[in-house]
Structures are given as C-alpha cells and as structure tokens.
Amino acid sequence: MSSDPDCLFCKIIAGEIPSDQVYSDEQVVVFKDLHPKAAVHLLIVPREHIKSLNELEEQHDGLMAYMMRLLPKIAKDQGLDNGFRSVINTGPGGGQEVFHLHIHLLGGTGLGSAFL
Ligand code: AMP
Ligand code: ZN
C-alpha cells in the first residue's frame, strides 16, 4: 500500500504523529480533526496515500464505496442520530490543505444549513 514519508496523514497512520483515533481497520483510520468546526468533526482517512479525488483510479472504487458505507456507521457510533454532514475538499481551489484524500464527518451543534 503506497504511502508518502512527507505526508502528515501518512505519519499519523504510521503512528509517528499522535492523533485522537476513534476507529481503525485494514482500509481506513478515523481520527478527530485538530481544529473542529462542529461538536463532532472526524476525518475518515484511507490507509493508502491517494492525494485527492483527482488521483482516484478504477482500482479505488471499492475503497470509496467502503468509506461511504462506513460514514453512517461512524456517525451512529458518535450519537449523531439526527444526521451528519460529509465533505471532501479537492485541490487548493476546493480548500484542500492536506493532500491525502480524506472525508470530513461533521455533526452535532455548530452546523447550520450552509455548506460549511
Ligand atoms: P482539508 O482542508 O480538507 O485538507 O482538511 C485538513 C484538515 O486536517 C483540517 O480540517 C485540519 O484542521 C486537519 N488537521 C491538520 N493537522 C491535523 C492533525 N495533526 N491532526 C488532526 N487533524 C489535523
Ligand atoms: Zn499520505
């Protein structure tokens, strides 16, 4: 599985940088965002280093579907019975700051009807 030694999230996945992890399996790691924008703000991060949606290939279809199906399970575990928001920023124009694909999962207080 590819990883990038200079990538922040690869370092977190490798345990070289601490994180507040809430879930992990053979495909993904889920940890709390360092600067939460809502009461619950998690990052669903694939173990494989994929820079962004722009770099996705057909071989990643299973992984992406897996992460989509994981989102409501994690949300439920977090007590988000009333719903949640999921966001993927892509490229500098999309506000992406860490170039290792990840899905933001937000919920609880602090969320209105706006996009972010
Ligand atoms: P994005 O702008 O979509 O690339 O999101 C990157 C997210 O990573 C931001 O919401 C940051 O707050 C978050 N972040 C940055 N460094 C860390 C870290 N060391 N641990 C957890 N989250 C982080
Ligand atoms: Zn990475």
pLDDT at 76: 98
pLDDT for 5 equals 95
C-alpha distances in Å from residue 33, one per residue of 59, 73, 103, 104: 28, 18, 11, 8
Q: What local confidence, expressed as pLDDT, does residue 88 receive?
A: 98
**pTM beyond 0.85:** yes
Q: Could you identify the residue written with the tokens 């360092």?
A: 34
Q: Which residues of the chain have pLDDT under 50?
A: none
Residue ranges of domains in the chain, CATH in brackets? 8-107 (3.30.428.10)
Q: What is the pLDDT of residue 1?
A: 80
Q: What is the DSSP string of 17-62?
A: S---EEEE-SSEEEEE-SS-SSSEEEEEEESS----GGG--GGGHH
Of 32, 43, 50, the one to substitute when testing ligand 1's pocket (max ligand atoms within 8 A of C-beta) is 43
pLDDT at residue 111, as a whole number: 77
Q: What pLDDT shows up at residue 68?
A: 98
Q: Does 95 sit in the ligand 1 pocket, CB within 6 Å?
A: yes
